[in-house]
Structure formats: structure tokens, C-alpha cells
Amino acid sequence: MKNYDFKAFNLKPELERTVDQLGFKQPTAIQEKVIPATLRNESIIGQSQTGSGKTHAFLLPLFNQLNPEEKNVQFVVTTPTRELASQIFDQVKKILTLLNFEQQVQAKLFIGGTDKKRTIEKLTEQPAIIVATPGRLLDLINEGAVNIYTARSFVVDEADLMLDLGLINEIDQILVKADPNVQILVFSATIPKRLQPFLQKYLNNPTFIEIKDHVSPNLLENRLVPLRHRKPAEVIGQIAKAIHPYLAIIFANGKEACDELYHDLAQQGLNVGILHGGLSARERKRVLKEIQALRYQYIVATDLAARGIDIEGVSHVINAQLPKETEFFIHRIGRTARAGMEGTAIHLYDEDDFPLLTKLSEDGLEFSNYEIVKGEWREIKAWNHRTVREKRGNDLDQEAWKRVKRPKKVKPGYKAKLRKEQQRIKRKLKQDKYRK
């Protein structure tokens, strides 16, 4: 479908006009596959990284099936964090405005940190569209304020983060209250084994859609910088002299490391903000508003904080500390080089990170290797150059041994002679290689 535009989906004319007003030209890879499958009423497991166009991949077909005349719940979108729920709800309101459905169709945002009693009092009728965090939605269902049995579609967004935060159990309790035939759309950057029981329980013969290449190697450069016993803040201070980010997210492992790095970078005079789960809901909301207003050039963040929100315009990702698992690494670099834009991911490392780097290299990820010297990038030897050199040496040893002629009769000292011959052949192989 790459040569087509959104008209190939045969959406309703008013929704086609809305797509044009949103400025969408061609569908992204996940939209190409999710939109038709959703329109066919299939349940879906969609695996793709943040920034792949996933939100509109499910919103557009769900709006296409929306009946403005019905006064009951028609589709539900659940997300693991308040911030992400608020961002999706903003998109819902935008589409409703463009469709001129603001008066006809009621959409509601249900998230924690708001007055539940007041929320229930304001529910004069069942909303057609619900965007919610699981805890608050479950509360409203148990109070009898919301009835989701009428919903035809139910979205579980960022399912792996739901799992990490222990929210998948609440989703389980919510779906018990839904129509057994409800269309379920599950989206996740990764599909951990621990998620399988949930998927098998609720999705009968789902369509599995995996988008592997939305972070294009042509648009994203991965640079490795050795720590060499220096503090991450010291190295990042040097990096800051060599880059001019529109917006850079700096990842640290855990709230304490995040706080320490934030203070160290602020003392160096960097324009830096901080985002992690230890902040109150009010503080997180304030920081997000300031990020959107381009108040900061650098944001120090933890994995959970950064995964639960959608930050636009990230030109650089810096790993002050590398994660231990590849899936978190992929989540992090997926914050940049999005929507056709270029991006750079810079990773500080020491010897403890070699297992992760080895795994990523085996998976096909390519790294360039640099050091910062007087505020400028200088290319250096690869992080694994010793291993590569040893491997090449071993390969030459093996090839030389193959070429050594074994004597038919064994005489005293024959092993030493074989080793000497092997070394001679090895030197010749090296010379031949360099000549080439």
C-alpha cells in the first residue's frame, strides 16, 4: 500500500477530510496493516515502537465505526500513565472537532489524581468514547457509574508497560465486565512471555502485526563513548559542547541516579529538566508543559517516565547508563529518529556493558565509536577491537594449521617443527591479507 494514500482504506468521506486536515499524506507501516484489520473487526496484537503512528492506527478506524446517534460506550482506550492518556485524549478531541462531532459525541478522560466523586456527578450520560488509566476506570465500573459492556472495541496501549507497572491485573478485571465478543486491540513495543497468559485468555485467534524497522538505520546513528572511570555528568558535559540538540533525553537507571545526574548537569549550567516516577502528578504535569514550551534543552529521565509519555522533537538520546536488557535499550533509542526525522543516540559505556553491546551487535545494530576531545568528536577504535583482533588471530591460527603438512613418520621434536611451520604460514597469510 506504500504507493497509496489513506483513500485506499475506504474510510467515511468526513473522516478522509479529517485525515487531510491532520496533514497525513501516506500511512505509516503500522497504519497500513492495523487500519484494514481493525475495520474488518479483527482483534489485533500490534508490536511497534513509540513514534510509529500507532495512536492514529487505532483511532482512525474506531472513529470510522463510531455512531454519533448512540448514547452508550462504543470504544475504550486504556493506557498505563495519566500523561499518555491525556495525550491520546487530546487527539480524540481534535478529531471530534474536525468532524464537527463535539456536541453530538461525548468523550471522557478518566485518570487518577482527579476527584472521583465529582467525575461521577458529572456523568449525566454514558460517554461514547473513554480514554482512561486502568485503576480509575475499574473504580468507575465497580461504582456502577460506567458500563463498558456496550463497547465494541477495547484498546490496551503500551501493554508491556502495563505489565511492568502491575496494571495488567486491573485490565483483566475490567475486561470481565466487557462483552465477550468485544474487539481487543493490544499494542506493545515488546511482547514479553509474562504477557502471554493475558493474551491467550482474551484474544481468540488475533491478527499479529509486527513492525520491526520503524527506527530506520539510515535515520538513526548510534555512537558509543567510553566512560574510562569518569562520572557520566563529566562526559555529558563534554558532549554538550559538541552537539546542539533541539531536545535531548538523558536516561539514567533509577530515580536516585536520575536526581544525582540532574543536579550535576544543572551545576554545569546546562538547561536541564527532570522526569521520573518519584515526582508528584502535579510536578510531572508542570514539567511536561515546560517541555512542550521548549523550556529545556536536556531532560534527565528514567525508563518508566519516558515510556509513559510522547515527547515530540527529540533530536538526541543519551544513555548516561546503559540498561541491562535489550528491550529497554530499544525503547530508549525509539524516542528519536521518529516521523522521518534524523536522530542520534549516544551511549556511555564501561566493561560491565559488554554483554549488552555484544547482544545488540549480534542482533545487527551498528555502532560508531567516538571520544570527545576539546569539545569535538574524535573517532576511536571499536569497543570490541580486542575481541575482534583475537578472533581474527584465532582464525589465522586455524587456517595455518590446516596448511601445515604432517610428516608420515614421527621423529623427535616433530611438534616444535609443526608449530614453527604453522607460524611461518600464519605470517605469510597476514602478509597476503595486507597486500590485498
- Alpha carbon separation from 292 to 40, 90, 155, 345, 381 (Å, rounded): 37, 14, 26, 21, 39
CATH topology of domain 220-379: Rossmann fold (3.40.50)
pLDDT of residue 1: 43
Identify the helix (H) or strand (E) that includes residue 46. strand 44-47
For all residues of the chain together, what is the average pLDDT?
A: 87
pLDDT tens figures, 45-79: 999 876 678 999 999 999 999 999 999 999 999 99
For the chain, the structural domain boundaries read 6-210, 220-379, 385-435
8 Å CB contact between 100 and 63: no
Give the cell for residue 385. Answer: 577491537
8 Å CB contact between 79 and 59: no
Distance CA 292, CA 313 (A): 9
CATH number for the segment(s) 6-210 = 3.40.50.300
- Alpha carbon separation from 335 to 19, 315, 320, 343, 375 (Å, rounded): 24, 9, 15, 9, 25
Distance CA 145, CA 90 (A): 23
Residue carrying C-alpha cell 492518556: 85
Torsion of the alpha carbons at 156, 111, 277 and 157, rounded to the nearest 10: 10
pLDDT tens figures, 296-323: 999 999 987 667 677 888 999 999 999 9
Residue carrying C-alpha cell 482483534: 43
Domain 220-379 in the same topology as domain 6-210: yes
pLDDT of residue 61: 98
Which of left, alpha, beta for 404 (phi over 0: left; psi -120 to 50: alpha)? Answer: beta
Query: Which regions in the chain score pLDDT beneath 50?
Result: 1-3, 214-216, 388-392, 434-436
SS3 label, residue 320: coil
pTM score, whole prediction: 0.74
pLDDT of residue 215: 44
